[in-house]
Amino acid sequence: MFKGSGYSITLLLLFIIVAMSGDRVFAPPTPQASPVKRQISPYVEISPFDHHFRAASDSLFGWDWKLLAAIAFTESRFDSTAQSEAGARGVMQVMPRTLRGTGVPDSLFMNPRSNIMAAATLLRELNHVYRRIKAPDERLSFILASYNAGAGHINDAMRLAQKYGRNRYKWEHNVDTFLTLKSRPEYYTDSLCRNGELKDWRQTIQFVKKVRRTWNRYRKMQDRYSDSIYTILQSDSTAELMRI
C-alpha cells in the first residue's frame, strides 16, 4: 500500500512538472548560434569611383587601379562634373574627340564609368605607342606626359632630344628638357617638330610628377591597409575577405 501510494505520488508530481513546462520538456536542444562572419574588402577606399577604376584596369590592361585613381585626382580631384577651358570633360578630363573615338556618346561624356573607361582605353593606346621603351617605369612617364599634352608634342621632344645627342627613350633630363624648349621658336619651328609650340609645358612636367607622387601615396595606403587586414584575419576567425 505504501509503495503503491509513493508510486502514485511520483507520477502525479511528474504530470504537474510536464504540464507546467509545456513543450519545453520535449523540445530539441537549442543549437548554438554560429559566429557572424565579418566581410572585409581587400582594398583601401580612395574615391567613390574605385569600382570603376578596378573594372577599367582589370578589363583593359591590368595596370594598378590606383594609378587610374591618381590620374583622376590630379586631373579633377574626383569631380565628375569638371570641365576645363580646353574642353576636357569628367573625372578623368578626357577630350571630346577622344571620348567619341572610344564610342562614348555625347550624353555620357560626364558619366564616371564611361569617362574612366575611355581614359583607360587611351592609356592602353599610349602604352602601345611607347612600346619601344622597355622599362615600364620609364615608359609610364611618356604615357602620362602624352595623356596631358598629347603624343604629338612628346614625339616632337623625343626627336629633338635625339638630334641634340640625348636619349630619346629617357624622360628626366632628356626628353623633358626638350619639351620645355618647345616654347621657344628656334626649337618649335625646327622641321623635326610637327606639332608647333607647346606653351603649357610646365603643366605637363608637373602632371607627371604629381601623378607619380599621388600614386605612390595610394600604394603606401594600400600596403598599410593590407597589413591591418592580415592582423585581423590572424586574430579573428570570424573575418573573411570579400572581393568587390
CA distance 163 to 142: 18
Overall CATH class of domain 49-129? mainly alpha
The yes-or-no verdict on residue 86 having pLDDT over 70 is yes
CA 181 to chain centre: 34
Length of the chain: 244
pLDDT of res. 219: 97
Q: CA 90, 95, 97, 102 torsion: positive or negative? A: negative
| pLDDT for the residue 1 | 43
Euclidean distance between the first and the last CA atom of the chain, given in angstroms as a whole number: 78
Residue 96 has pLDDT above 90, yes or no: yes
Per DSSP, helices labelled H in the chain are 2-21, 50-56, 65-76, 96-101, 112-129, 136-149, 151-163, 176-180, 185-188, 201-235
Q: What is the mean pLDDT of residues 80-91?
A: 95
Residue 11's pLDDT is what? 53
Question: pLDDT at position 101, please?
Answer: 94
Do 161 and 167 touch, CB atoms closer than 8 A?
yes
188-208 pLDDT per residue, tens: 999 999 999 999 999 999 999
Positions marked active-site: 75
Q: Beta strands of 68-203 (E only): which ranges?
A: none
List the chain domain ranges: 49-129, 133-229
For the ranges 10-19, 68-77, 146-155, 159-168, the lowest mean pLDDT is seen at 10-19
Q: How confident is the model at residue 34 (pLDDT cuts 50, 70, 90)?
A: low
Instruction: Indicate the SS3 state at residue 89.
Output: strand
- The arithmetic mean of pLDDT across residues 79-86, rounded, is 95
- Does the pTM surpass 0.95? The reply is no
